[in-house]
Structure 1
Amino acid sequence: MASDLVLCLDSGTTTVKAAVFDRDGRAVAHAEIPNSALERHGNRVEQDMERTIADAEAAVSQCLLQVSGEICAFALTAQGDGLWPLDGEGQPAGKAMTWLDGRASALLASMPAALDAVEAITSSRPTAASQTLQLLWLQRNEPERFASIRHALRLKEWLFFRMTGTLCAESGSVLPAWGDWRSGEAHPDIPGLLGLEKGTELLPPIGTVGSCIAGLSKQAAGRMALPEGLPVILGPGDVQSTFVGLGVGPGFELTRASIFGTSAIHGRYFAEAAAIPRKHSGGMVQRFAGGGGFLCFHPAFNGGTVFRHAARVLGAEMQPGYRPAYSGVVLHPFFEPGGERAPIAHPFASAAAFGVSARTTPEQISWAAREAVAFLTRMAHADLGTDDREMVSVGGGVARDPVFLQLLANVLERPVQPHAGGETALRGLAAVATGALDTGSDDEAAPNGSYLAPAGAEIEPEGGAVAGYLGRKRAIFERLLDEVSRHWEDIAGLEEVASGLA
């Protein structure tokens, strides 16, 4: 490429980030703004689609103010799942239903056989976050809006369309809902199995990262002060991009990672499909966008938001410089309205606290929330196979929290290695996108290791009394899950009755 500067955009759930890297992997510019388009109203978690474009362009423009050289390529990724619908004119058909939207949860209990049949094809059980079930919810509850939809996109595809005028979808993001990761194609039976009146015909053309490249449109170029025709690459999803940025994937030494952002994602790279263990129904499998192999991962609804929800709902907020607050409090951290999908898969999962008394302090509840997230992380990694003692690479906001990182190492009984920079997904995106540009085929290009996020010092697990306490508490946590989960659907029904009394 004539220039060595690559612009990358990650439109996330909480923030929208942009960065420019040179070909040696150095970040020469970075910008981050809040996601102003996200709207929460009970179990409705939506985004204004036009406002989302404005946020993306604002982040890019702020980033470019720091750059003096010429940009040679522009790569995109974004939050996964969700429904970003377009009408026949290519305009938004209402607001986007994000991956956190819980309205489709009500469908799940009535269609277990259909969900089983879809999971047999996709290896991913549909949840409230799945585009297929969100379309089904609209079909049943907003039929006029459903009838107007001509294209069902994800956020990164919506960004790509508005930046280039081209409809395109990268297979790794589409197939967990619509197809078979083994064949790399959408499956025509899925709409009928779920009772959808239309389905796969709404999808954009599906290809690899190497084939999802188009020129920046004149209009978008003018809004962001970029050259018309600049190559725009539809990168892998934010999950896979972050795993690459953490040094997990083909050609790298590590195979395990956990990401703690708005959600929590725990995954493992497998060079061969036959090596993937029998996974939990909430897990997903994707082909790697470059270099071969597969990513099996658990995408949890309840991640970094657990700590914010615990502070808001329970008044339990840790102050800077906090220390562990060990106690007999056991917390189930399922605050999100869509329940949970991995490693616990239940549409009506809800939060609960046990062992609370008048002596309990807010710090103890907040620490119990951190313990709960660590316990679920261990459950996810156990489901991904226990045949190794490999270190877990850690990214996301909590990678800057040394107290939580030590807790995580203690619970996992494995060393952890933080990557505390805020550019991990952007670095992984750059690594995959530049490989695709250089070779013209992402099937042949392993990610470029020069873009990997810098790693911190390894944190080893502690033994002794703390290890004994955590082992005992984790066993209680899991036994309580077994007991309480049988009541989640009844509790959700009670909530519905109560809402009608207001």
Structure 2
Amino acid sequence: MIIGVDIGTSLTKAVVFDEVGVSLHQACTPSEVHHLPGGLVEQDLDQVIGTVATVVREVAARLDAPVTALALTGQGDGVWLRDEDGNAVRPAISWLDGRANALLAKWQADGVSREVFRRTGSGMFPGCAAAILSYLDTHEPEVLDRAVVAGYCVDAVVQRLTGAITVDVSDASLPFLDPKTRRYDEGAIAAVGLSHRRGLLAEPAAPKAVFSLNRHGAELLGLPEGLPVTAGPFDLPASAIGAGVREPGDGILTAGTTLACQVLTDSAEFDGEGEPAGMFLSTPTPGEYLHAMPAMVGTASIDWICRLLGIEVTGIGPLLAQSPPGAAGVRALPFLSASGERAPFVDASARAQFAGLSLEHGRADVVRALCESIAYAARHCFEAAGLSGRLYACGGGVRSAEWTQIFADVLGRPIVIPSDPGVGARGAVLVAAEALNQPYDRDLWASSSRTVSFVPENAEFYQRGYADYQASLTAARGLWRL
């Protein structure tokens, strides 16, 4: 009876699984995301804590056996500043935030981004901790003076529930952690001018670390004081673990708010010569890493097109079916985020475009062009990450059979879809089971899935379409300006 909790950007979910990995009970509730003028995106820690309490209490009330542990995962990046008691000293700054766009562009021009990439294998972007903390150090230094820790969503919740100031190695991986040593690289911290703020970074927890629910956390969740709590990895690695990614070369596509493309590897080698983008995420297993390319072009783009066209998200599938592969000649670049793109390249000025439109086209063609362009972005990411094995997929985007087929055809490979959508919570539970020495059958937990095969003639067509996408992207990058 381990309750897995996935604290997403816009939704918090709690799930309990049976002994073979099938969800028994689940609950979810939305989190508030505040989009402010100037590309600012913030969240309220107390509101997020409230969502955790809501879903945990709801699931626990349905159980006919005692809860044995709480396993947490959630969104990564951004900055969640707290005092020694775990209270926020300012609203949390989301990974979606764009206030540091100009600073990031300066770091790219000055070579700072490449220096950090050379040291840690992490490509910085406006919503990462380095950019946000440096921005605050200039514009809100008094806030950093009041803070005791600058962390992330999951460890902010852990501090409130257990009193522990900690961070998982996966969260710490971007951008200051050397993934091979699992320690902070002081040169990377110095490169972004934050050595004097080094004390705000919590030391990464040891593998299989377990914390305990304190009195305040117990009262908040309605669970026993002293209950074991595990913290991480954050949602990207947790989803890979929950989906069944095991062998080097295997990958996972998460079609969520982030279009996260990850490939498991046993080598975190980076020479700093490539484009400074993506990251190597440390996993719970020392010596294993996820080479991640988390693009900014996920389902938020679909939400935008639905609002623009006045349609429901559930109407995307039928529209995709009405337009042929290639969207009747309409082409798109999907970079709609106000903070640009972060993988497989970093450019805060990246912006979307549609081309090839005429009076003969309808909204089905526009929707299909956008969905195809996001699939092309996924292929670009996986090529950079080194996908060579089996591919899994999860996230809200793969609930659409039509869009999932586009992903399979553009990538030219079959995609394994776990039947249970709560793979992030599932991964957190499996990590907790390992930490608590609770045995489980890995094969049974990974067996509940279906496979979407690609259509060979469509894959051949999209091979040419991908070349056109790459040419359009190269041309557009020469024109983007902040």
* TM-score bucket of the superposed structures, by smaller chain: over 0.9
Contact 1:221 1:227 in 2 (8 A): yes
Contact 1:247 1:253 in 2 (8 A): no
Counterpart of 1:166? 164
Structure 2 vs 1, CA of residues 99 and 217 (structure 1 numbering), >3 Å: closer, same or farther? same
Structure 2 vs 1, CA of residues 453 and 200 (structure 1 numbering), >3 Å: closer, same or farther? farther
Task: Deviation per CA, 1:158-195: give whole Å up to 9, x if none.
Answer: 01001101111111220322120111101222332112
Structure 2 vs 1, CA of residues 280 and 110 (structure 1 numbering), >3 Å: closer, same or farther? closer
1:13 to 2, 9, 19: 9
Counterpart of 1:411? 410
**Residue ranges of structure 2 left out of the alignment (5+ in a row):** none
Q: If the length of structure 2 is used for normalisation, what is the TM-score?
A: 0.92
Following TM superposition, by how much is the alpha carbon of 1:63 offset from its aligned partner in structure 2, in angstroms? 1.2
2:45 to 44, 49, 58: 49
1:59 to 55, 59, 82: 55
Q: How does 1:445-464 map to 2 (within 5 A)?
A: 448-452=442-446, 454-456=448-450, 458-464=451-457
- Answering whether residue 303 of structure 2 is matched by residue 303 of structure 1, we say no
Task: Deviation per CA, 1:367-390: give whole Å up to 9, x if none.
Answer: 11110011111111122236x4x3
Following TM superposition, by how much is the alpha carbon of 1:92 offset from its aligned partner in structure 2, in angstroms? 0.7
Paired with 2:411 and 2:30, the residues of 1 have a C-alpha distance of 32
Report which stretch shifted further, 429-438 or 20-29: 20-29
Counterpart of 1:230? 227
Following TM superposition, by how much is the alpha carbon of 1:208 offset from its aligned partner in structure 2, in angstroms? 2.7
Tell me the secondary structure at the aligned position of residue 470 of structure 2: helix
Tell me the secondary structure at the aligned position of residue 379 of structure 1: helix
2:175 to 177, 181, 196: 177
Contact 1:114 1:194 in 2 (8 A): yes
Task: Give the structure, 1 or 2, with the largest relative contact order (CA under 8 Å, sep 6 or more).
Answer: 2
- Answering whether residue 72 of structure 2 is matched by residue 76 of structure 1, we say yes
Contact 1:245 1:453 in 2 (8 A): no
Structure 2 vs 1, CA of residues 88 and 218 (structure 1 numbering), >3 Å: closer, same or farther? closer
Paired with 1:134 and 1:337, the residues of 2 have a C-alpha distance of 15
Paired with 2:258 and 2:351, the residues of 1 have a C-alpha distance of 16
Counterpart of 2:204? 206
Contact 2:85 2:163 in 1 (8 A): no
Paired with 1:73 and 1:153, the residues of 2 have a C-alpha distance of 23
Task: Deviation per CA, 1:258-284: give whole Å up to 9, x if none.
Answer: 111111111111234469998652211
Counterpart of 1:495? none
Count of equivalent residues: 473
Tell me the secondary structure at the aligned position of residue 436 of structure 2: helix
Following TM superposition, by how much is the alpha carbon of 1:23 offset from its aligned partner in structure 2, in angstroms? 3.7
Following TM superposition, by how much is the alpha carbon of 1:428 offset from its aligned partner in structure 2, in angstroms? 1.1
Task: Deviation per CA, 1:470-491: give whole Å up to 9, x if none.
Answer: 23322222111111111112xx
Contact 2:124 2:342 in 1 (8 A): no
Paired with 1:60 and 1:162, the residues of 2 have a C-alpha distance of 15
Counterpart of 2:330? 329
Paired with 2:309 and 2:425, the residues of 1 have a C-alpha distance of 34
Report which stretch shifted further, 130-139 or 281-290: 281-290
Contact 2:340 2:349 in 1 (8 A): yes
Report which stretch shifted further, 239-248 or 419-428: 419-428
- Answering whether residue 419 of structure 2 is matched by residue 423 of structure 1, we say no
Equivalent AA in structure 2 for residue 340 of structure 1: E
Equivalent AA in structure 1 for residue 80 of structure 2: W
Tell me the secondary structure at the aligned position of residue 488 of structure 1: coil
Paired with 1:324 and 1:299, the residues of 2 have a C-alpha distance of 30
Could you tell me the percent identity over the aligned residues?
Answer: 26
Counterpart of 1:34? 30
Task: Deviation per CA, 1:324-356: give whole Å up to 9, x if none.
Answer: 512111111111111011123211101111112
Paired with 1:89 and 1:160, the residues of 2 have a C-alpha distance of 11
Equivalent AA in structure 1 for residue 228 of structure 2: P
Following TM superposition, by how much is the alpha carbon of 1:201 offset from its aligned partner in structure 2, in angstroms? 1.2
Structure 2 vs 1, CA of residues 232 and 447 (structure 1 numbering), >3 Å: closer, same or farther? farther
Counterpart of 1:496? none
Paired with 1:291 and 1:22, the residues of 2 have a C-alpha distance of 28
Report which stretch shifted further, 192-201 or 268-277: 268-277
Task: Deviation per CA, 1:204-239: give whole Å up to 9, x if none.
Answer: 23223412x221011221222211100111121110
Counterpart of 1:378? 379
Paired with 1:70 and 1:446, the residues of 2 have a C-alpha distance of 19
1:143 to 118, 141, 144: 141
Question: CA-atom RMSD, angstroms?
Answer: 2.4
Report which stretch shifted further, 267-276 or 297-306: 267-276
Report which stretch shifted further, 277-286 or 181-190: 277-286
Q: How does 1:339-378 map to 2 (within 5 A)?
A: 339-378=340-379
Q: If the length of structure 1 is used for normalisation, what is the TM-score?
A: 0.89
Paired with 2:94 and 2:270, the residues of 1 have a C-alpha distance of 32
**Residue ranges of structure 1 left out of the alignment (5+ in a row):** 440-444, 493-502
1:478 to 470, 473, 481: 470
Equivalent AA in structure 1 for residue 455 of structure 2: E
Counterpart of 2:94? 98
- Answering whether residue 466 of structure 2 is matched by residue 488 of structure 1, we say no
Tell me the secondary structure at the aligned position of residue 345 of structure 1: coil
- Answering whether residue 294 of structure 2 is matched by residue 282 of structure 1, we say no
Paired with 1:23 and 1:277, the residues of 2 have a C-alpha distance of 44
Structure 2 vs 1, CA of residues 187 and 450 (structure 1 numbering), >3 Å: closer, same or farther? same
Paired with 2:273 and 2:233, the residues of 1 have a C-alpha distance of 24
Following TM superposition, by how much is the alpha carbon of 1:413 offset from its aligned partner in structure 2, in angstroms? 1.1
Structure 2 vs 1, CA of residues 315 and 259 (structure 1 numbering), >3 Å: closer, same or farther? same
